[in-house]
Every structure is written in structure tokens, then in C-alpha cells.
């Protein structure tokens, strides 16, 4: 018991330290060379490179990475399966399509979308995708089939997005192409303010659900018999995971695999599935995963930037394959 507590504390300390180190690295490293002293100085003096470019981007990577991991964790709880996640279930792509269409429509009307309406459009899109997945899940019980279905939704939405982007007027879509690829670049402080309002609030709500989520680990029947209001819990899981994934897509486009990889890695590290421990750990883990991937995306082939999904897929997809192989061997994952 005591050893377990020590291990949990050690993992949390490690995660916290790592996220601070990566935050520092993301401020320090970039196309304009700054010394460590200049970086710290710039942080206090309000230097433009730090405050307008690197800090918002670094903070966004942490917040949105955490949001993705949590969204994945909530969906995994809902479907009782570790390979559920906002990207593979088509939730991110649904959000992407809704945002693209709204942006093009707004541009057609001669207006730009503000952050809140982008999030609202993304949320509508993510809920539509989730709604469709839920309808299908009534017919087919197997999550592997749902994932296939989600991937197909993803392709359909991406194709529709590409179609819309191709035929939209050039001026409308200055940023749309980059965004549709998925990227943290161009994040400004205003967007960060909106994220900082939505993501922590949704995360706290998820944490408040720890107790019913804990009971839900034994399945719907046992949860209900111990007094969980299962219908309410399931609705809350869907809405929160949809909102978190929508927020990510609204600001950074679709980001792949973080929602599966980060929760899986923290589960491995902590060796437990207790929600009071896992929910904060998932958030930190997702933030770290995205910060590290964004650092790679910015610096690996600088000055050319990689799409964030390119990097998260390279590190995240092997984790998914690993999970499936372990399940195949009959081990609990």
C-alpha cells in the first residue's frame, strides 16, 4: 500500500517535472536563437518572440494535449476499451468538417470566425460524429467494429473537408489548409485564453466524475446496482469527451493518436486504473506528449515545419499496435 503511494507520487513528480522542462524547451528552442538568459529575460520583459509566438504555442500544446488525452480516457471508459479515442472514432474529423464548413460560410458572408464560434462549430461536429457512432454501437456490440466505423467516418469527413477547401475561394482559406493538416502554429494569446477557459473547466468536471467512473469499471450492470445513475454518467462522458476533442480541433485541427497513446502510457506507469489518479495523470501525460511532438515538429526539419499529426502518429500509432498485440495475447490491457 505504502509502496503504491510512493510510486504514484514519484510518477506525478516526474510528469510535472517533464512538462516544465518541455515548456522551457519550447520557449528556448526556435528559429530565432535566444540564449537561456534572453529566454528568461524575455519572459519578464514581454519580448514579442516569447509572448506572441512561443509562449502561446507552448501553452496550447500542453492544454490541448491534456484535453485530447482526457477525451480519449473518457471515451475508453464509455466503451470499456483502451483503443477508443477521439481520432479513431471519427470525432476529431467530424469537428474538422463542421469547422471548415462554418469558416467557409462565414468567409462567404465576409466575416471571420471568433474563437468561441469555432469551438461551438467543432462541438456540433463532434457530437454529430459521436451520435452516429452511438447509433451504430446499438447495432454492433464489438468495439473493434466501431473503430472501423469511426475510421470510415473520419475518411468521409476528411474527404468532404478537402472537397470544401478545394472549391472555396482562395482568399477564404489562407489558414484553412494548414489548420486542416493539424498544427499548433499561429496560436495567439486570445485563443489561449479561450482554451484556458474551456479545457480546465471540462477537466475539473471529468475529475468530479471519478467516483461513478470508478464503479463503471466493472461494467454497466454492476455500476447501476451499486447506485450509479448510469444514463447520466454516460451522457456526461459523451458530452465532456466531445467538448474536449472539439476544443482541440477548433484550435489545432485534428491531432491523431494522443487520445489513445497518452492514457495507455500513464496506465502502464502507474499500474492502476483508479480514476482519481488517472484523470490528472492523463492530462499531464497528454500535455507532455503533445509538447514533445510539437518540439519535434518545429525543429526536426527547421525551417520547414511538420504537421503535428505526422509526429504524433509516428510516436502514437506504435502504442496502439502494442495495445492490440497485448489484447491478442489475452492479457488485460
Q: For the CB of residue 87, give the shortest distance to other proteins in the complex, in Å.
A: 21
Give the position of cell 488525452. Answer: 69
Is residue 182 a contact residue for other proteins (CB under 8 A)? no
Q: Does 80 bind other proteins (CB under 8 A)?
A: yes
CA proximity to 88, closest of 18, 13, 145, 167: 145
Nearer to other proteins, 185 or 210 (CB): 210
Alpha carbon distance 242, 74 (integer Å): 9
Q: How far is the CB of 57 from other proteins (least distance, A)?
A: 34
Nearer to other proteins, 83 or 246 (CB): 83
Measured CA to CA in angstroms, residue 208 lies from 196, 242, 267, 333 at distances of 18, 17, 19, 25
Cα-based distances in Å from 64 to 232, 245, 253, 258, 290 = 26, 9, 11, 10, 8
Q: Which is nearer to other proteins, 210 or 310 (CB)?
A: 210
Our finding on whether 267 is near other proteins (CB under 8 A) is yes
Choice from 221, 303, 321, 328 touching other proteins (CB under 8 A): 221
Nearer to other proteins, 194 or 274 (CB): 274
Question: Is the preceding peptide bond at 303 cis, omega within 30 degrees of 0?
Answer: yes
274 binds other proteins (CB under 8 A): yes
User: Which CB atom, from 8 or from 117, has the smaller least distance to other proteins?
Assistant: 8
| Residue 31 sits in the site that holds other proteins (CB under 8 A) | no
Shortest spacing between CB 64 and other proteins, in angstroms: 26
Interface with other proteins, residue 332, by CB under 8 A: yes
Which residue stretches of the chain are H helix? 2-28, 36-45, 48, 55-79, 91-108, 115-139, 143-167, 176-181, 189-208, 210-216, 220-225, 230-252, 258-270, 275-299, 308-328
- Told to check if 227 binds other proteins by CB under 8 A, we report yes
Contacts of 222 (CB under 8 A, 6+ apart): 215
Shortest Cβ distance from residue 78 to other proteins (Å)? 14
Q: How many residues does the chain have?
A: 333
In the complex, the residues that contact other proteins under the rule CB under 8 A are 80, 82, 208, 210-211, 214-215, 217-219, 221-222, 224-229, 267, 271-274, 276, 332-333
Amino acid at each position: 500500500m505504502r509502496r503504491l503511494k510512493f510510486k504514484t507520487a514519484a510518477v506525478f513528480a516526474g510528469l510535472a517535472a517533464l512538462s516544465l522542462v518541455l515548456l522551457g524547451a519550447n520557449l528556448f528552442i526556435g528559429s530565432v536563437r535566444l540564449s537561456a538568459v534572453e529566454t528568461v529575460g524575455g519572459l519578464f520583459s514581454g519580448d514579442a518572440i516569447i509572448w506572441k509566438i512561443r509562449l502561446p504555442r507552448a501553452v496550447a500544446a500542453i492544454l490541448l494535449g491534456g484535453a485530447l488525452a482526457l477525451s480519449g480516457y473518457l471515451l475508453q471508459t464509455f466503451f470499456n476499451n483502451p483503443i477508443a479515442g477521439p481520432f479513431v472514432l471519427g470525432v476529431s474529423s467530424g469537428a474538422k468538417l463542421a469547422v471548415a464548413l462554418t469558416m467557409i460560410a462565414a468567409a462567404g458572408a465576409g466575416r471571420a470566425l471568433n474563437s468561441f464560434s469555432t469551438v461551438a462549430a467543432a462541438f456540433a461536429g463532434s457530437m454529430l460524429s459521436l451520435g452516429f457512432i452511438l447509433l451504430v454501437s446499438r447495432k454492433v456490440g464489438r468495439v473493434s467494429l466501431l473503430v472501423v466505423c469511426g475510421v470510415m467516418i473520419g475518411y468521409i469527413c476528411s474527404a468532404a473537408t478537402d472537397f470544401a477547401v478545394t472549391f472555396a475561394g482562395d482568399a477564404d482559406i489562407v489558414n484553412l489548409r494548414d489548420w486542416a493538416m493539424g498544427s499548433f502554429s499561429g496560436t495567439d494569446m486570445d485563443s489561449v485564453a479561450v482554451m484556458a477557459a474551456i479545457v480546465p473547466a471540462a477537466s475539473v468536471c471529468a475529475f468530479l466524475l471519478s467516483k461513478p467512473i470508478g464503479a463503471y469499471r466493472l461494467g454497466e450492470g454492476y455500476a447501476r446496482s451499486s447506485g450509479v445513475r448510469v444514463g447520466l454518467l454516460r451522457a456526461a462522458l459523451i458530452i465532456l469527451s466531445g467538448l474536449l476533442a472539439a476544443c482541440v480541433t477548433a484550435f489545432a485541427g485534428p491531432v491523431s493518436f494522443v487520445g489513445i497513446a497518452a492514457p495507455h502510457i500513464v496506465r502502464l506507469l502507474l499500474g492502476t486504473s483508479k480514476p482519481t489518479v488517472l484523470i490528472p495523470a492523463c492530462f499531464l501525460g497528454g500535455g507532455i506528449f503533445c509538447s514533445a511532438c510539437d518540439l519535434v515538429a518545429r525543429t526536426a526539419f527547421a525551417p520547414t515545419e511538420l504537421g503535428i499529426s505526422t509526429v504524433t502518429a509516428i510516436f502514437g500509432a506504435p502504442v496502439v499496435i502494442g495495445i492490440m498485440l497485448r489484447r491478442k495475447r489475452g492479457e488485460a490491457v
